[in-house]
């Protein structure tokens, strides 16, 4: 029987969606950003239910962004740049403490943006690791250098426990469904500069507008 398209899931396609994120003049399309995260979450879910609490939060964040993308002001949410401008000009962002706008596009996307840094660090470790590299250690190190500083103790603790049950490097490469380990490494080498650029552009935009610590 022919496989349903959703079963032929490969991480290559997911990481390719990040290629579509940047416009010619370096604006970040929210639609493709969200699509990239959807694919990553699908991958995360295939690793098992221990990661459920992580994917649940990410799914919530995506839902909020999709609501903006499909809402009556959808034209303001085409790119991260237009979203920032629109929400700031219309005072739709809680800047210093949580208030009337707990679901602003700016604060919601910031959470995914921080997680993108984790992804970049983790994938870089995966790419340069040896055959006996431990994914749990790579994941924990990447997390400690990025996302963890934004998380309270309980979340760090739960994340740390989840990392311990990550499959080893060979099994992990297998679920990625990209091909041989050499092909995985090559694919990561292609994908990382794109992810890194999307991260940098967003980081600079948020820094310019003083949005890096949104509550």
Considering the complex, what minimum distance in angstroms separates the CB of residue 151 from ligand 1PX?
Answer: 6
- Is 118 a binding residue for ligand 1PX by CB under 6 A? The answer is yes
- Is 139 a binding residue for ligand 1PX by CB under 6 A? The answer is yes
Q: Find the Cα–Cα–Cα–Cα dihedral 33, 35, 41, 42, rounded to 10°.
A: -160
- Is 155 a binding residue for ligand 1PX by CB under 6 A? The answer is yes
- For 6, residues 6+ apart whose C-beta sits below 8 A from its C-beta are none
Is the distance from CB of 38 to CB of 9 less than 8 angstroms? no
Q: Which is nearer to ligand 1PX, 26 or 144 (CB)?
A: 144
**The one among 23, 46, 52, 53 contacting ligand 1PX by CB under 6 A:** 53
Which of the residues 17 through 46 are near ligand 1PX (CB under 6 A)? Answer: 40, 43-44
CA angle at residue 11 from 116 to 117, to 5 degrees?
10
Q: Report how far apart, in Å, the C-alpha atoms of 45 and of each of 34, 49, 52, 194 are.
A: 16, 7, 7, 24
Q: Which residues contribute to the site for ligand 1PX (CB under 6 A)?
A: 11, 40, 43-44, 51, 53-54, 57-58, 111, 115, 118, 139, 143, 147, 151, 155, 159, 166, 176
């Amino acid at each position: 029987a022919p496989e349903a398209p959703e079963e032929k899931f490969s991480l290559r396609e997911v990481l390719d969606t990040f290629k579509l994120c940047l416009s010619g003049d370096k604006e970040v399309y929210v639609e493709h950003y969200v699509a990239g995260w959807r694919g990553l979450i699908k991958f995360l879910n295939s690793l098992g239910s221990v990661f459920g609490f992580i994917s649940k939060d990410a799914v919530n964040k995506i839902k909020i962004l999709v609501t903006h993308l499909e809402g009556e002001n959808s034209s303001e949410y085409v790119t991260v740049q237009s979203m920032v401008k629109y929400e700031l000009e219309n005072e739709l962002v809680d800047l210093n403490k949580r208030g009337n706008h707990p679901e602003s596009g700016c604060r919601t996307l910031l959470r995914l943006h921080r997680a993108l840094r984790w992804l970049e660090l983790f994938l870089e470790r995966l790419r340069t690791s040896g055959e006996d590299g431990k994914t749990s250690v790579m994941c924990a190190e990447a997390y400690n250098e990025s996302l963890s500083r934004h998380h309270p103790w309980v979340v760090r603790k739960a994340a740390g426990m989840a990392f311990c049950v990550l499959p080893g490097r060979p099994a992990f490469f297998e679920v990625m469904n990209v091909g041989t380990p050499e092909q995985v490494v090559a694919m990561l080498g292609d994908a990382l500069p794109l992810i890194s650029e999307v991260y940098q552009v967003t980081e600079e935009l948020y820094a310019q507008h003083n949005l890096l610590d949104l509550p």
